[in-house]
Amino acid sequence: MEAGAALVEALVDAGVDTAFTVPGESFLPVLEALRHRRNRVRLVSVRHEAGGTFAAHGYGALTGRPAAVFVSRGPGATNASIGLHAAQQDSVPLVLFVGQIRSYARGREAFQEIDATAAFASMTKAVLEPATAADLPALARRAVEIAVEGRPGPVVVTMPRDFGDVDVPAPAERGPVERPAVVADTPAIEALVAALAEARRPLIIAGELARRADTREPLAAFASAIGAPVLSAYRCQDVIDNAHPGYAGHLEINPVPYQAEAVAEADLLVVLGSRLDGITSREEALVKGKRLAHVHPDPAVLARFGAEIAVLADVAPTLESVAGRLAPPPADRLAWRDQLHARYLAFSTPGNVNVHGEVDLSRVAAEVRAALPEDAVLITDGGSFARWFHRYLRFSRPQTQGGSPCGAMGCGVPGGLGAALATNDGRPVVVFVGDGGFMMNGQELSTAVREGVPVKVVLCDNEVHGSILKGQLDRYGEDSSIATRMGSPDFATIAEGYGAAAWTVRRTADWRPAFAAALAHDGPALIRLLFDARDIAPYGNEKDAV
């Protein structure tokens, strides 16, 4: 069996069923093997390597399983690197296979050669490079194992061009890779139980590794049992039903006064499955001086914050271990929790922010939510426009929020493609993207058309790099903008050129019929939503204090 075919067989055996590629001549035997295995692996040819890794990110975030991405060396691999970085920061499993130069030319600055380990080690869990062709199938399986174990993340495997058609033994069948649970030791559980018993006002911060479907019930039960409010980490609003009496909202780029008050009043922060990224932790200001209990399966993450109670474990088994060992919450804690939930509901109700233009994104978000089933997947790209949807969309089902918590622009459209392939059950997938993000990877809408994936794209177009423009104006004055006022092409015409249906909306009143038509369309669709550049984000212009 050729090594390229053996690699594909190893992936099939490991349970990989979805792959993305920009095809390259350096891995032709792999492509041929994938052609023969179309009954087991769906291969999607994307328009740009970043689109491939972002699509794999969208797939892995929803399934917890890695998709494979196949790209060429040098420019192809570096194009793909933005998705690696996002997957690493967002704890999403992904395996990138790089068609490499011939093995004997390594280190000679051959055509398009890069040192894969030097290039990608800082943004992946591992870079695996075979010494012989026979190593390829074993490394393919090992890459899947590494991608899912512990804290999930991306792995890179190189494929030297001269290895692909070498005859090697067929890989042994070992069955699909299963992620081993990370379970806390008894002293850590005892310390957590003791800290919870001592706390007067515990506050839960739930993050990316608390979003798994199997964590949903334990988290809701834990929050109810201790009567504590729950703040979701950045872009993790689906960790718990937002109607749960403990839900206190989302830690966004813009600080929210009632949330800052809650953190100040808390005497124990219980961090569940969050790496405490810079936005969530307010560059660590959130946790400084606070008693901290931190549950996470990555010892490196735990070491960063020096929590008094550090629990090296997955969230679900940890919460199940403490269940039944907690005293009922006192009445004053329940009153505190309920008051925070009420303030969240007021904060996330449309109409509480002054709007300059003819489109009110808060009302658009509310109408989106009303028009969609609870299990629809809603994805926000990077960009300041997304804060409108973070504030006014509410989530009730697990793993229904997508996008990159690391804030990578351009992830939305390909991420929607990957999410739709992951669900594969007819649920609507709606992507919210800015004009800047769409110009980076919006061409993958043409991939959705070709593949018959009915993703719906809401393109929020204010013709500027919003947050940067606001920073310029705030700091240097009204005439200080440079490089941030972009102008826009006719995105609806571009979408139609790709083969998608398209609408343009200029007023809030026109939104509902356009969105209904897009949802009814049986293929990919785009709505260009024009809004005022002064309405950059729903903060700083509230009608009433929250």
Residues 398 and 477 placed together within one structural domain of the fold: yes
Residue 132 inside a domain? The answer is yes
Per-residue pLDDT of the chain (546 residues; tens, 9 = 90+): 999 999 999 999 999 999 999 999 999 999 999 999 999 999 999 999 999 999 999 999 999 999 999 999 999 999 999 999 999 999 999 999 999 988 887 888 888 889 999 999 999 999 999 999 999 999 999 999 999 999 999 999 999 999 999 999 999 999 999 999 999 999 999 999 999 999 999 999 999 999 988 999 999 999 999 999 999 999 999 999 999 999 999 999 999 999 999 999 999 999 999 999 999 999 898 999 999 999 999 999 999 999 999 999 999 999 999 998 999 999 999 999 999 999 999 999 999 999 999 999 999 999 999 999 999 999 999 999 999 999 999 999 999 999 998 889 999 999 999 999 999 888 999 999 999 999 999 999 999 999 999 999 999 998 788 778 888 888 898 888 888 888 899 999 999 999 999 999 999 999 999 999 999 999 999 999 999 888 888 987 777 544
Answer with the one of 316, 347, 378 that is the final residue of a domain. 347
- 8 A C-beta contact, residue 19 and residue 34: yes
Residues 384 and 305 placed together within one structural domain of the fold: no
Residue 177 inside a domain? The answer is no
Residue 34 inside a domain? The answer is yes
Residue 235 inside a domain? The answer is yes
Residues 122 and 219 placed together within one structural domain of the fold: no
Give residue-wise pLDDT tens across range 392-434: 999 999 999 999 988 899 999 999 999 999 998 889 999 999 9
Residues 66 and 193 placed together within one structural domain of the fold: no
Residues 55 and 196 placed together within one structural domain of the fold: no
- 8 A C-beta contact, residue 74 and residue 473: no
Residue 502 inside a domain? The answer is yes
Residues 471 and 372 placed together within one structural domain of the fold: yes
133 φ, ψ (degrees, to nearest 5): -60, -35
Answer with the one of 347, 377, 405 that is the final residue of a domain. 347
Residue 262, CB-side half-sphere exposure with 13 Å CA sphere: 32
What pLDDT does residue 106 have?
86
Query: Is residue 529 helix, strand or coil?
Result: strand
Residues 332 and 401 placed together within one structural domain of the fold: no
What pLDDT does residue 229 have?
98
What pLDDT does residue 400 have?
95
Residue 174 inside a domain? The answer is no
Write down the pTM of the prediction: 0.96
What pLDDT does residue 544 have?
56
Residue 353 inside a domain? The answer is no
Please provide the DSSP assignment of 392-446 as one string.
H----STT-EES-TT--TT-HHHHHHHHHHHH-SS--EEEEEEHHHHHHHTTHHH
Residues 8 and 58 placed together within one structural domain of the fold: yes
Give residue-wise pLDDT tens across range 283-338: 898 999 999 999 999 999 999 999 999 999 999 999 999 998 999 999 999 999 99
- 8 A C-beta contact, residue 147 and residue 66: yes
Residues 332 and 367 placed together within one structural domain of the fold: no
Residues 366 and 306 placed together within one structural domain of the fold: no
Query: Is residue 163 helix, strand or coil?
Result: helix
Residue 154, CB-side half-sphere exposure with 13 Å CA sphere: 28
What pLDDT does residue 186 have?
96
Length of the chain: 546
395 Rama sector, left if φ>0, alpha if ψ -120 to 50, beta otherwise: beta
Residue 467 inside a domain? The answer is yes
Q: How many folded domains does the chain comprise? A: 3
Residue 251: which domain range? 186-347
The neighbour count for residue 142, using CB atoms within 10 Å, is 19
Return all residues near 69 (Cβ < 8 A) that are at least 6 apart.
19, 20, 21, 49, 52, 53, 55, 56, 80, 83, 94, 95, 96, 97
Give CA–CA dist 85/246, Å, rounded. Answer: 33
Residues 342 and 365 placed together within one structural domain of the fold: no
What pLDDT does residue 545 have?
47
Which CATH number covers residue 519?
A: 3.40.50.970
Residues 525 and 402 placed together within one structural domain of the fold: yes
Which CATH number covers residue 216?
A: 3.40.50.1220
